[in-house]
Structure 1
Amino acid sequence: MCCEPAIAPNQVAIDYRIDATAALLEGMLRVVYAWQSELAKTMSVNAIQNMVRVPVPVAQGWSVDDYRRSIDLMMQVWERWVPWIGPPALIGGGRAASRINMLKPSANASILVYTLMEVRIMAKTATLTIQQWGNSLAVRIPAAVARSAHFEAGQEVEVTTDEVGVTVKPVGPRKLTLAEKLTKFDPATHGGEAMATGRIGAEVF
């Protein structure tokens, strides 16, 4: 929801519209999820994704701090719908983003762009602190990084060391996502049912 002064004349109004923008995103994701789930009963994954698309999240605000809070709320909403959706491939900026750019292109605009970029970068990299865990050391892998690496709880991984540091990689082929499984589904090959044995007892088919 737009946060221009004519519509949001004070910080209370701006905060309300930022909160409402996140609530609208949640509502849209619920609608899209419901439609995609219903269509999945009779249509292919590719057809569904082309027909009912996941919305592009939009950050709103008037100041850089407003935009940062809007992005934080946006990502909180987005995280609720993983793994149905991955990290947002595109993030929209409200009209105030152009105002920030015109006023102080070397300061506020750079901060805003960097904040938007953080959302994309955090899915691939993270700066962590090594913690003591009994007699061992451990780091906690952030959820966005784990999704990007296709890691999940209970998964077996291999840890190797070199001169630079430590590498963690999965053991064996990674587990396919539901979308990937559906893409590989071939009704001609996998459709219907088959009995490996004959009838046993008084079953009626």
Structure 2
Amino acid sequence: MGSKNITWHNGKISKKLRQEKYGHKSAVLWFTGLSGSGKSTLAVDVESRLFQKNIQTYHLDGDNVRFGLNKDLGFSKTDRIENIRRIGEVAKLFVDSGQILLASFISPYKIDRESVRNLFEEQEFIEIYVKCDLTECEKRDPKGLYKKARNGEIKGFTGIDDPYEVPENPELVVETDKMTLEECTKKIIRYLQEKHYIK
């Protein structure tokens, strides 16, 4: 239970002022999809393109945050929910700071993704479904996790013995088993331009 003896302090520099100074809107690009679908690879590439355009941007990766912020969490359903809740709050801080945050997390449950979306103002949360057939993800298996899950070494693995709930109305869908990395990146950048997040 949270403390009642706290007060929110507002600074002099608003989100709007930061956006005006940086010359672009702030938002979170939330990459969701199965392990091995290419979320992080795609997010890193998009981040690089945005950085080249002088956009204030940063990438949060699912594995990376478990080395620090969420190192006390496991992979039970309860811990996964808390993992996404914390990342949502961190993402909100980045958006408030005027940046475009790229967050690549499996985030398998619809209710958790909606909870994060509800933290933001309208059009600040851009859900990107990184769609890739399970068979292809297993072929790639960059971390060897599918093999371990199939062998029973990992329990509750998304896509094998734990569900992945496909987004119903994502802002964007990129099919990494049918599109090249370049095509996926261009689609996302084009979306940001057409919706006037960036010039």
Interval of TM-score (by shorter of Structure 1 and Structure 2): 0.3 to 0.5
Say which structure is richer in helix: 1
TM-score (norm 2): 0.33
> Which TM-score applies when normalising by structure 1?
0.32
Greater Rg over alpha carbons, structure: 1
Query: More relative contact order in 1 or in 2 (CA 8 Å, sep 6+)?
Result: 2
